């Protein structure tokens, strides 16, 4: 199957967070590919990968990185595709550095910045599916079903002591 979403990250150390984006995409039936692409360690690969993503049929790029998290912004500078940035928690600054590095883009080059860590990766997968759902009825139904089930789960267990 042709992957529609690329889930990329700066290091294998980002995978325990970024796998939550993949889990959500799989749950919603959206094909994705995963790659290590580092802004600092493999800059030429970054440029090639970002430039070739749209011609290969990728529709959304999710990019996760920590610390001096330049990957999402640099990818966005080389592609017209929507780029969703996931700040990965760093050891020294708990991901605040990652968040600010990803969010503070100059006007004219957009990165949609998610929350730090697992929730951000999960929501990047969900948001990528919602972007695709604007022109794909199957993915739209999958998103609607996921949301309805999530709502019902909360309504079914109103007492926290019963969980």
Does 10 help bind ligand RP5 (rule: CB under 6 A)?
yes
**Does 59 participate in binding ligand RP5 (rule CB under 6 A)?**
no
13 appears as a binding residue in the annotation? no
Residue 41 is labelled as binding a ligand = yes
For every residue of the chain, which 3-state class applies, written as one string?
CCCCEEEEECCHHHHHHHHHHHHHHHHCCCCEEEEECCCCCCHHHHHHHHHHHCCCCCCEEEEEEECCCCHHHHHHCCCCCCEEEEEECCCCCCCHHHHHHHHCCCCCCCCEECCCCHHHHHHHHHHHHHHHHCCCHHHHHHHHHHHHHHHHHHHHCCCHHHC
We find the least distance from the C-beta atom of residue 16 to ligand RP5, in angstroms, to be: 11
Which residue in the set 11, 101, 113, 123 belongs to the binding site for ligand RP5 (CB under 6 A)?
A: 11
Q: Contacts with ligand RP5 in 63-102 (CB under 6 A)?
A: 65-67, 88
* Total of residues contacting ligand RP5 (CB under 6 A): 10
Q: Give the residue, chosen from 6, 8, 14, 59, that forms a contact with ligand RP5 under the rule CB under 6 A.
A: 14
Comparison of 10 and 120: residue with beta carbon closer to ligand RP5: 10
Quick check: 6 and 32 in contact, CB under 8 A?
yes
Which parts of 31-50 interact with ligand RP5 (CB under 6 A)? 38
By CB under 6 A, name the binding residues for ligand RP5: 9-11, 13-14, 38, 65-67, 88
Binding residues for substrate: 11, 14, 41
């Amino acid at each position: 199957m042709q992957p529609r979403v690329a889930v990329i990250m700066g290091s294998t150390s980002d995978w325990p967070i970024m796998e939550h984006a993949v889990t959500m995409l799989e749950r919603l039936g959206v094909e994705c590919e995963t790659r290590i692409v580092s802004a600092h360690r493999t800059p030429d690969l970054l440029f090639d990968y970002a430039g070739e993503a749209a011609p290969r049929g990728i529709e959304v790029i999710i990019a996760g990185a920590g610390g001096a998290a330049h990957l999402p912004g640099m990818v966005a500078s080389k592609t017209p595709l929507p780029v969703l940035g996931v700040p990965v928690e760093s050891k020294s600054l708990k991901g605040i550095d990652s968040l600010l590095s990803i969010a503070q883009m100059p006007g004219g080059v957009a990165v949609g910045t998610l929350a730090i860590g697992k929730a951000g990766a999960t929501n990047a997968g969900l948001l990528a599916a919602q972007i695709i759902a604007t022109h794909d009825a199957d993915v739209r139904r999958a998103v609607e079903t996921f949301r309805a089930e999530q709502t019902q789960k909360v309504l079914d267990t109103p007492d926290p002591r019963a969980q």
